[in-house]
Amino acid sequence: MKLKKVEFDEKLPFTSHIGEIRYRLIRVIIFFTILFVVCFSLSESILELLRYPIKDLDLVFISPTEVFFAHLKLSFFVSLALAVPFILYHVWEFISPGLKIVERRHTLPFVIFSTASFFCGALFAHFIILPIGLRFLLTYKASSLTPSVTLDYYLVFIARLILVFGIIFELPLIILFLTQIGVMKPEILTKNRKYGILIIFIIAAVLTPPDVITQILMAIPLLFLYEISIVVCRAAYRRKQKKQASAAGT
């Protein structure tokens, strides 16, 4: 009987975790579904906002189903982006009981700042990079040509660029995380700055359309974020060394 009781008690925490995962997953799905319905009902207004970089150009469609599925994809991705803070909150609520007090203190700000950084990158791409880049691409040696952009291609194009810039703006936080776990040191970033600049321009060339203007527009914020990452890395590394020195002294 004691053996059975031990087995039951060992299985109980696992079943309770499964129940909590299901509970939080249901809440996330319900929240996402509500967002999707709202976004789909407002998809025309959202599309008009996303058309800001090419507001003077008419979008076309070449398939009877293209408009419908484009609005579905648009509603899905916008709902997913808006649901990210809610999803991260439930992930945090699930894992926080198993973390130490110090880890809890750092994890929640990290989640908040990573979400804010992603949206800053997305807004930067949409309101600054896309208007300049598209204006150049649509007018480059096209004086005798009339541009015609399909709705589906345009949404895929801006979604890719916004996603890339959202991830790029996470660079300082990624460097901070690598510094905290002991993988990164400020000397690595400063001594290899020239290689970092080269890698930045290679990344900009790979992730952007094949034109120099858009590549430069991506490389400039990347260089700026690289320098910010050095400052963040130095501050985090000094703080870590002070903690280690105080711990060794005690």
**Is the pLDDT at 100 greater than 80, yes or no?**
no
Q: H/E element holding 247? A: helix 212-249
pTM over 0.75: no
- 148 by DSSP, 3-state: which? coil
The per-residue pLDDT for 127 is 84
pLDDT top residue among 43 and 114: 43
Cα torsion 172, 174, 178, 179 to 10°: value is: 20
Side chain identity at 124, as an amino acid letter?
A: F
Cβ pair 72, 167 in contact under 8 A: no
Phi and psi (nearest 5°) for 95? -90, -20
Q: What is the mean pLDDT of the chain?
A: 78
**Residue among 238, 92, 225, 63 at smallest CA distance from 153:** 63
- 10 by DSSP, 3-state: which? helix
What DSSP designation does 196 have?
Answer: H
The per-residue pLDDT for 102 is 59
Report, as an integer, the average pLDDT of 33-62.
Answer: 86
Taking each helix axis from N to C end, the angle separating 151-168 and 66-95, rounded to the nearest 10 degrees, works out to: 20
Report, as an integer, the average pLDDT of 16-39.
Answer: 87
Q: Where are the domains of the chain?
A: 1-136+150-162, 170-245
pLDDT, tens digit (0-9, with 9 covering 90-100), for 209-246: 666 776 777 788 888 888 888 888 888 888 777 777 77
Residue 7 burial (CB count, 10 A): 10
